[in-house]
Structure formats: C-alpha cells, structure tokens
A and B are shown apart, each in its own frame.
Chain A
Amino acid sequence: MTDKSGRLPFVSIIEIERFAIHDGPGIRTVVFFQGCPLHCPWCSNPESQKRGTRLMHLEKRCVTCKQCINSCPNGLISFRDDKLVFKREACTACKTCARACPREAIRFSGEKAEIPYIMEIIKRDKEYYANSGGGVTFSGGEAFMQHRALTELLTRCKEEGIHTAVETSGQTRLENITEAYPLIDLLLYDIKHANKDVLHKVTGASLDTILANLDYAAGRDPNKIIIRIPVIPGFNFYTEEIASVFELARQRQIKEVHLLPFHTLGKDKYGQLGLSYTFPHNKMLTKEDLFPLQQMGESMGLHIPLNPFRSP
C-alpha cells in the first residue's frame, strides 16, 4: 500500500518491544503505535497519545548541570525557580540536549519508522514465534489510527506466516476493521465501560462505534477475540460495571476476558512530558483485588485467567 507518490507510509511508533510475553500468546514482538483517539486519564503511556517526537525530562536523574541549556541551538531551555523549563511547543526534536546531558536525563519518545524497517525487526524472531506459539502484536496508542500502515504491516506479516494480534480500543471506522480483519489472528479488544455516557465523558470514546465494530468481528469469529478490561478504581472497579462488560462479551459468544489491574507505573511519565497527572487514584490494584470479579466472570461461563498468556 503506497500513497499517491508511490511511497509507503511512515509509521509513528513509540517502540518495538521484542520478547514481549504479555500481549498475546508465546514470544511476541509488539509494535507500539503512537496516536490515540481516546484520552483516558489513567493512561500509563501518555507519550503514546499524540503523534510526534517528544522530549521527556527525567527529573530524578537530572543534576541541573545546565549543559542542556547551553546546548540547545534554539535557546528553548531555561532555568527558573531551581527547575529546568522547556519550551516544548517550539522544540524541533533535534536531540542536541539529550546528547549533551551527562546523566541521560533527557530522552525523546516517538519516531517515524519505515515499514520495511519494522518488518526487518519483526522477521528476526520468526522462529521464536513459531516455536512458542507467538507472533506479532500491534498495540498503541491506537493502531487503527494509522490503519493504512497497520494493514500493510499485517499483510506483510501474513505473507511471512507470522501470527498477528492487534490490541485496539475499537474506536475506529468500521471499514478499517473490515479491511484488516482477515489479516488478524487475534483481536485484543479493550472495553472499558458498558455505559456509553460514562465512557464518553471520561475517555472520549463512543461505545456505539466500539460495539458496532465488535459485532462485526464477533459475528465472524468470536474465538478470535479476547476482551480486555482495564479495571480502574472510581471508574469501573464495581461489580455491576464489570458484570455489564462481561455480559457484552457473553452476548457475542466471546469466551475469554482479561482483567488488567490499575497501576500507576506510568505516572512519572506525565511530569517528564510536561503534563500533569490528574487521575485522583494512587493505589494500584492487585491480583487479589480481582478475585471476586474473576469468580463472577467464571460463573457467567467466561474464561478469566488472572495470568493471561502465562503458564499456571
């Protein structure tokens, strides 16, 4: 798939993680796309929300030696109130400051990668996928935000005989789903809430769109779908809310649901990006917290593994 000038699209990505074992079965390579139509306040990868190369300042490492200030060719870094201040909106991501920093306290996140480059990395672990029942997972961000590139990557993976999984919020146009669907072996489909008003208010997502897309996929093969629910205190960490999502799965003959316990491991990244973390909850959930929900789901006839994709 090429654009009008015959070029392949670039893909905005955060990173390519090899030997990933949590986002699908077996040994996998996960390509994290950048850009997401939602804005979940608990998001643990805030650098994946908007496309572009972004400066991340790791204050914990910074010794305020000010070498970055002197290095910036555009004078966009200053020192005020004992703190470094970055004019991020004007940053060209030339990365000179990162090179100058002796403590590796400045990083840049987000890059544009060419499809052959991504494929080259994916292909290097082909035999590991084959022997472990693994493959590739396209995640994000929201992979369907770059549906042309996604479809191209999926096509190439299938040509290589590689198992494909896509992790999606389902927030995309149906035609994107239908186009990619035949190329996908496993859909990891996030459903965060069954109440469309709450969902929309908190995350900006449209439940109608998400369910229409899910209907399409489930109508073809519900066994290709695993529903994933991020379990978030104050949002959906209530028996009835989770039960409603379970019900959505059951109605569509989807058998497996994963509960992803809320964590705050991505919290520091907000500060690093110059953003503020506004989500009020701080206490991470544990597996034990999920036991009652798991039991409920199992009693509804669903399979709810608490260590998904891992051996017991």
Chain B
Amino acid sequence: MPKFNVEGIQNVEVSKKFPCEKPPARQLEIMEQYTAMHQSCLDKPKELREIACLGVLYPTLFRNIAPGDLIAGRIDFLPIGFGSVTSEGGVGHYCVFKKLRTFQQQLDDAHKKRVDALYDYWLDHDLKTQFGKDVLTDDTTGMFIDCEFPMIATARLSGMMLDYPKLLSKGIDGLREEIGERSGKDTGNDFYKAALGCLDLFVACASYLQVNAREQMPHSSSKRQQELERIDKGLEKIKAGKPETFHEAMQLIWLYALLSGVINYGRLDDYLGPFLAGDLQAGRLTDEEAYRYVYSLWTMIENRRTTVNGRIVVGGKGRKHPQEADVFLHYAMKVAKNARYTEPQFTLRFDRDTSEEIWDAAFDALGAGATYPTLYNDEVNIPAVAYGMRIDEKAAEQYVPFGCTEFVIQGQSTGTPNICINLLKLLTIYMNRGIDPADGKYKADGVNIKPLGEYQTFEDFYSGYKALLDHYLDLSVRAQYYSYELMNKYVGFLFTSLLTDDCIARGKTLLNGGVRYLGGTNETYGNINTSDSLWSIRDLVFNRRKYTLKQLHEAMLANFSGYEIIRKDCLACDKYGNDLDTADDMANDLYEYVAKGVRERGIAIGMQYFLIVISNNQLNTEWGNHTAASPDGRLSGMYMNPANNPQGGANKSGPTALLNSLRKFNARYHAGSVQNIKFSPAMFNENRPVIKSLFKTYFNRGGCHLMVTVVDKGTLEDAVQHPEKYPDLIVRVSGFSAVFVDLSPNIQEELLSRVLYD
C-alpha cells in the first residue's frame, strides 16, 4: 500500500462552511449511531445498508429554517456520514479524517477516545480511503489534491443533474406508483425496496421541517408567520401530490436535491418557469414576491458553500417551455446582478435565436461585476456534445455544465471528473529522463525515455513525450473506471438513481448499469504551458538551432538562473493567445492528441464517453507551485496557465487575437473548456455594442464558451493591500467565482497576471 495521507485535503474549499448547529456531544452521538448502523449492515445489500444509514442522518441533520428562507431545508454535515461529493460531507459512506481530528480537538479526553474508535473503524470502510489503497501509488498517481504527482485520482460522484421534470410531473406518490409497478414484477429487487424507503425518508424530512416551521410561528412577525404557513402547507403538499405552485415546485426540487447530495441544479428556468409564470398570471405571486423567491433560492444555494458548483442553467435549445422559462430567466438575471454571490454559478446557454433583451440582461449583470452569467454557445456545444458523447443531437440538447464546466446530460449521464493530469509536469519529467526536477523523484513508471542528445528531429522528441503521455492516459482511464466499480461495490446513490434514467426502468442503481450514459471526465492542466513549451523547443532547438535540447534543459534545471538570456529567448517565442498559427497550431495538436487519446480509451474500456475538460479551479496555481521550470520561460513553482487560456500576460495582441486563438480547438473532443476574458468596467460598459459584437463574432466563429470578469486592475491591487474594503469583490477564477480577498496570495497573483482589456 502506498503511503498516502488519509488526512489530506480533498477538495477546494474557498467558501467557508457554516458550523454545525448541533452541539459536539450530539454530533458525536450521531456519528456513533451512523457507524453502528453501518457496521450492523455490513452484510446487507448495499441498497438496504444505504437507506438504513441515511435514516440515521435524516431528518436529524436538518438545521432550523433560517429567518430569510422562503422554502425549507438546510442540512449540516459531519465528518462521518453519507454523500456523493467531497464538498458536501464526503463520498459514499465516508469519513473525512482531517475534519474528524479537528472535531476531536474540542472534546475532553474521554470523548476523544470515542472519536479514535470511529477513526479506526473508518480507516477500513471510508470509500475514498479504499480507493486510495487500491489505486494510488508512490510515484505516478496521488490523491486529490496532492500536487507532487503528475496525476491525481479520486472516487466521487460529482456533477449529477437530476431529472426534475419527472419529479415535478409525478410528485412523490407518482414515483411511488412507478416503483410499485416495477417492483411488483421484480419482488426481490433491493433497489426498489430501498427506493421506496427513500421516498418515506423524504416524507419524514418534510414532516420534520413542518414541525420546525410551526414551532417558529409564535415567535415571528405576522409577515414571517405567513411565510412559515406557506412553507408548512407547501411541505404538506409535496409529501404526496404533484406541486401546483412555484413555491411547491421549488420546495420539492430543493428538498430532493439536499437529500441526494446533489449540488448542481441544471435547467431550472425550464422546470420552474411554468410554475412561476402560472403564479404570476393567476395573481398568486406579485412581481416583488417572485423576485424574493428567486433571491431566496440564490441565498440558500450560496449558503451550501460548495465553491465550484451550484450550477443553474438558463436559456438555450431544447427547452420544453421556452416562454415561461424566460420569465424565470429574467428574474434570475436580476438576482444574479444584485446578489453578488459566488454561487450559484449562473449559466446562460444561448443560440442564434436568443433575444437582444436576454443579451442585454446578461450584459447588465456582467457589467455590474457579477461575473455571471457565464456564456455557453449551443450552436457549437450541441453538435460537439453529440459527437463527443456519442448521442444524438436531440439528447445533446439537454447538456448542462456543472462544477467548473464539465458537461453532463441532465438526468441521463454521469460525468464526474475523477482524474486530473498535469501535462506540464509530465513534460518536465520527460525532459529529465523520468525524474521530476521539482523533487528529484522518478515518476515515469518504466516508460522508456531516451537521453535528450539522441533526438534528431522535433517529431522524434515530441513522440517520446507522447509515449509518456500515453502511459498516463492509460492509467487515467483505468483509475476513472475503477472509481465507478468501487463506488458501485459499496453504494447505490439511491436518491440520485431514482431520478436518473434508466435506473427505475432497469431496476438498477446508477453505477450498477442503471445510468443511461456512463460518462466521465479527465481534467487536464498546464495545457498551454506545455504547448508553448513544445513550440519553444521546436523553434529554438530544431528550427533556428539557437540552442541544443541539452542547453535548454540545463537552463530549466537551474530555473534559468545564470541563463537569463535563454529564458528571454524562450519567453520571446510565439505564444498561444495571439492568433499566431505557430503557437496556436502546436496547442491544437497537443489538445487533439490528448483529447482524442482520452476519448478513445474511454470507449475502449466500455464507457459511453470519457472526455477531457480544460477547466480549472485553482489547481493550475497550486500544481504550478510544484512544477519545475518549463521551456516556455515559466519559472519553477510559478502558476500554470488557467484552463485553456494563455499564461498570464502572454497574450499581447488584444481581445480579437485572444478570441481567435481560443476558438481554434474543436469542441467535439472535450466536454467543456473554460475561456476567460477580463475587462475594465469602463471598457465593458461604455462600449457595449462593440463588446457585444466582439462576443457574437467569436461565437459565430466557433467559440464554445466565455466567462467574463469586469473589474479594474487598480481595484484588485488595492484589494490585495486592503482586503477589509472589498468583502464582496467577486472575480472569476476560471471554473468558479470567488470573493477575491478569500483567495490565497498565490492565487491572487495568478489572477493579477492575466491580461485585462482596458
């Protein structure tokens, strides 16, 4: 077994969670009960174990309805429990050991021992630890997020988007009936049994919250009493029947999402729009109330604090109720503009028919500094998704980005990115004959690498690098696939399975053959540093013969210290992002090699799709901090380029040139690629027609996506010095938005390095 640290940090948590409402003693009790239940069910089928364990957590872990909430439902997470993703508790039956240790510190000695017992039990049963034992190695594959490895792998179920239309149209009783019909023919099916248990649990939670609402009424203002009454009645309604109002529909989706541990919401405009429009039309809601409802939803999503998730998607092709959906869309735009939250990640899908009114609303929000909506071009993405995922265009119309940008098909596919690969680290390892110059450890896993002096042509050099890449791509697909096998062995993800095609029809949980499209994603990092490095090598070593590979390598190993002129020559080589065919073609060549390689491996192993995503959270910086100097002139330890954008400051030819470079990657080979662009408020707001035509031209020419930050450079610099003055200054990191002053200095530095169009 490799020596990995079970207490390692598992995910990016920029937004700080609320502390648990329950006192520590109670928390400990719950964790003990959970553990005991888990232990007692070890021999039971996973579905029955899961529902039994969920029954320990819920409704107990619900928090009190918060004063401003217009619908009910907030939950706490403990260091031990059940979940789908790392940002809400953990994955499967989980123990987050680091958090458990932190929790332990506040207890007295007697209680501390009780925690030790739990700790020891979960060492053998925490799903991610099990995955780590089986997959992680000492040299090639690290755990999320251990930046010393060229590749990191995890087990999680990120980015599920549930079939809410089904939930809304059937209601809980409708689901019960459907399961009932199926299970009648298949009486021994544990999934069906557990699924009915899930619906019972849902109802129990609704009742629990009703009690809470009623308890709060006597101490509340008359206005709040009315709101609580509405919550009470709404919960009563959705325990059985189909929702009829916007309130009930929101409540149903929300409570279900909480219990399933799903943190991305998808096309809420299309799902909720008809309820909202109906209420407005019937006079059940005023304009102001509607706005407050949407605002309240935004607040509750923000308060889940999932940092890189919380996707709400509006607009685009394939909506069943476009007119009503646009009613929701416009409220959402206003809320996104005014709320200044980092989540939800509010996303606009658009096509040629998207109205100027919607574009203007989007520009209003972006121009105000909201960083939302992020923009996805259906004209490009739908055909691309259809090809990439091997589905027809009709199905592809239901693509939704989650997390930092990865696509899934709402209610029909998995797409969790359980692998990340650092292409640049691999290049530095390759050039150093398998030894990572960052720490002197061998990480080539036996791949044969020639000494640098033996490469006669660039192609020769490049194919040697590709051989190392190939090896890692092999490792990546195996690790991804194994994460599904392992998760399937222990958990069913019952709530998620219930609302994912075709689990009920097949009588199978999600990863047991239930999900229609078993997809996955692979996050690649340092893409542009790597291609710029390859171009530098091609240009300086093989075209112009200015340096030998050895000289270049020597300079890199010295972090260019004493080799400043070589570094300047490296920096002066053409760089991606300037609309230069030299560097851009190199970038595209590497992109296609990696993207196709990943895709083909996914198909070969039996997945519907396995595609790269070029997104990032802040890993480009953190991984860069552990990556040696590179031939593009980047120094050792320096951040790497964000997503598929140029290295900060390398794009010097204006936004049209940048966008021309960005559009060159064919979108059909990836499942999401993040494009950032940054403007000063004066430039963005005083030139709207020009900026609009800039964006639209880019999109017409094949641009798939854009995320826009509107901020002054001076403001960012001042915020570094005086964070207290900027509590709500939001910036786009890449795959997510964050409050600038909450980011660590190295991330802030990377953001400041990016070109701002003024």
A residues neighboring B (CB under 8 Å): 17-19, 21, 26-27, 99-100, 102, 124-125, 127-128, 131-134, 307, 310-311
Q: Say whether, besides A124-B579, A132-B690, A311-B686, A18 and B696 are in contact (CB < 8 Å).
A: no
Interchain CA distance A66-B481 in the complex, whole Å: 59
Interchain CA distance A99-B569 in the complex, whole Å: 8
B655 near A19: Cβ-Cβ < 8 Å = yes
Residues of B close to A99: CB separation below 8 A? 565, 568-569
The 9 A-B residue pairs with the shortest CB-CB distance, nearest first, are A132-B693, A19-B654, A18-B654, A131-B693, A131-B697, A125-B656, A19-B656, A128-B697, A127-B697
List, sorted by A's number, 11 A–B pairs whose CB atoms are closer than 8 Å: A18-B653, A18-B657, A27-B656, A99-B568, A124-B656, A125-B657, A127-B697, A128-B694, A131-B697, A311-B686, A311-B688
B693 near A27: Cβ-Cβ < 8 Å = yes
Quick one: which of B568, B687, B700 contacts A21, CB cutoff 8 A? Answer: B687
User: How far does the Cβ of B691 sit from chain A's closest Cβ, in whole Å?
Assistant: 9
Interchain CA distance A128-B688 in the complex, whole Å: 14
Q: Binary interface profile of B, 309-344, with partner A (CB < 8 Å = 1, else 0)?
A: 000000000000000000000000000000000000
Interchain CA distance A17-B657 in the complex, whole Å: 10
Q: Binary interface profile of B, 648-672, with partner A (CB < 8 Å = 1, else 0)?
A: 0000011111001000000000000
B569 near A311: Cβ-Cβ < 8 Å = no
B694 near A311: Cβ-Cβ < 8 Å = no
Residues of A close to B565: CB separation below 8 A? 99-100
Interchain CA distance A156-B110 in the complex, whole Å: 86
Residues of B close to A21: CB separation below 8 A? 687, 690
Interchain CA distance A124-B564 in the complex, whole Å: 34
Residues of A close to B655: CB separation below 8 A? 19
Report how many residues on chain B are interfacial, defined by Cβ distance under 8 Å.
23
Residues of B close to A311: CB separation below 8 A? 686-690
Residues of A close to B656: CB separation below 8 A? 18-19, 27, 124-125, 128
Q: Say whether, besides A17-B654, A18-B654, A26 and B690 are in contact (CB < 8 Å).
A: yes
Interchain CA distance A26-B687 in the complex, whole Å: 9
Given contacts A132-B694, A133-B693, A311-B686, 12 further A-B contacts (CB under 8 A): A18-B656, A26-B690, A27-B693, A27-B694, A100-B565, A102-B564, A124-B579, A125-B656, A131-B696, A132-B693, A310-B690, A311-B687
Residues of A close to B689: CB separation below 8 A? 132, 311
In this assembly, does B113 line the interface, its C-beta being within 8 Å of a C-beta of chain A? no
User: How far does the Cβ of B685 sit from chain A's closest Cβ, in whole Å?
Assistant: 9
Quick one: which of B579, B688, B700, B757 contacts A131, CB cutoff 8 A? Answer: B700
B654 near A310: Cβ-Cβ < 8 Å = no
In this assembly, does B471 line the interface, its C-beta being within 8 Å of a C-beta of chain A? no
Q: Binary interface profile of B, 706-726, with partner A (CB < 8 Å = 1, else 0)?
A: 000000000000000000000
Interchain CA distance A18-B693 in the complex, whole Å: 15
In this assembly, does B701 line the interface, its C-beta being within 8 Å of a C-beta of chain A? yes
Total contacts A-B at CB 8 Å? 58
Q: Binary interface profile of B, 456-471, with partner A (CB < 8 Å = 1, else 0)?
A: 0000000000000000
User: How far does the Cβ of B646 sit from chain A's closest Cβ, in whole Å?
Assistant: 15
Interchain CA distance A17-B654 in the complex, whole Å: 8
User: How far does the Cβ of B653 sit from chain A's closest Cβ, in whole Å?
Assistant: 6
Residues of B close to A127: CB separation below 8 A? 697, 700-701
Name A's interface SS: loop
Interchain CA distance A132-B690 in the complex, whole Å: 6
Residues of B close to A102: CB separation below 8 A? 564
A307 near B568: Cβ-Cβ < 8 Å = no
User: How far does the Cβ of A305 sit from chain B's closest Cβ, in whole Å?
Assistant: 13
Interchain CA distance A19-B694 in the complex, whole Å: 9
Residues of B close to A307: CB separation below 8 A? 686
Residues of A close to B701: CB separation below 8 A? 127
Interface core residue of B568, B657, B693, B757 (most chain A CB under 10 Å): B693
Interchain CA distance A21-B690 in the complex, whole Å: 8
Closest to B685 in A: A311
Residues of A close to B579: CB separation below 8 A? 124
Q: Binary interface profile of B, 502-522, with partner A (CB < 8 Å = 1, else 0)?
A: 000000000000000000000
A26 near B693: Cβ-Cβ < 8 Å = yes
Residues of B close to A134: CB separation below 8 A? 690
User: How far does the Cβ of A106 sit from chain B's closest Cβ, in whole Å?
Assistant: 12
Interchain CA distance A272-B528 in the complex, whole Å: 34
User: How far does the Cβ of B586 sit from chain A's closest Cβ, in whole Å?
Assistant: 18
Closest to B688 in A: A311
Interchain CA distance A128-B653 in the complex, whole Å: 15
Closest to A100 in B: B565
User: How far does the Cβ of B658 sit from chain A's closest Cβ, in whole Å?
Assistant: 9
User: How far does the Cβ of A65 sit from chain B's closest Cβ, in whole Å?
Assistant: 10
Quick one: which of B564, B568, B654, B697 contacts A132, CB cutoff 8 A? Answer: B697
A124 near B696: Cβ-Cβ < 8 Å = no
Residues of A close to B694: CB separation below 8 A? 19, 27, 128, 132
Closest to A25 in B: B690
Residues of B close to A131: CB separation below 8 A? 693, 696-697, 700
User: How far does the Cβ of B362 sit from chain A's closest Cβ, in whole Å?
Assistant: 16
User: How far does the Cβ of A172 sit from chain B's closest Cβ, in whole Å?
Assistant: 29
Interface core residue of B656, B657, B694, B757 (most chain A CB under 10 Å): B656
Residues of A close to B653: CB separation below 8 A? 18
A310 near B697: Cβ-Cβ < 8 Å = no
Residues of B close to A128: CB separation below 8 A? 656, 693-694, 697
Residues of A close to B654: CB separation below 8 A? 17-19
A27 near B690: Cβ-Cβ < 8 Å = yes
User: How far does the Cβ of A150 sit from chain B's closest Cβ, in whole Å?
Assistant: 23
User: How far does the Cβ of B544 sit from chain A's closest Cβ, in whole Å?
Assistant: 14
User: How far does the Cβ of B706 sit from chain A's closest Cβ, in whole Å?
Assistant: 15
B686 near A310: Cβ-Cβ < 8 Å = yes
Residues of A close to B568: CB separation below 8 A? 99
Closest to B578 in A: A18
Interchain CA distance A131-B688 in the complex, whole Å: 13
Residues of A close to B690: CB separation below 8 A? 21, 26-27, 132, 134, 310-311
Interchain CA distance A132-B692 in the complex, whole Å: 9
Closest to A71 in B: B565
Interchain CA distance A159-B579 in the complex, whole Å: 23
User: How far does the Cβ of B508 sit from chain A's closest Cβ, in whole Å?
Assistant: 49
User: How far does the Cβ of B684 sit from chain A's closest Cβ, in whole Å?
Assistant: 11
User: How far does the Cβ of B573 sit from chain A's closest Cβ, in whole Å?
Assistant: 13
Residues of A close to B569: CB separation below 8 A? 99
User: How far does the Cβ of B227 sit from chain A's closest Cβ, in whole Å?
Assistant: 43
B660 near A124: Cβ-Cβ < 8 Å = yes
Residues of B close to A125: CB separation below 8 A? 656-657, 660
User: How far does the Cβ of A173 sit from chain B's closest Cβ, in whole Å?
Assistant: 34
Residues of B close to A19: CB separation below 8 A? 654-657, 694, 757
Residues of A close to B693: CB separation below 8 A? 26-27, 128, 131-133
Interchain CA distance A26-B696 in the complex, whole Å: 13
Closest to B698 in A: A128
Closest to B689 in A: A311
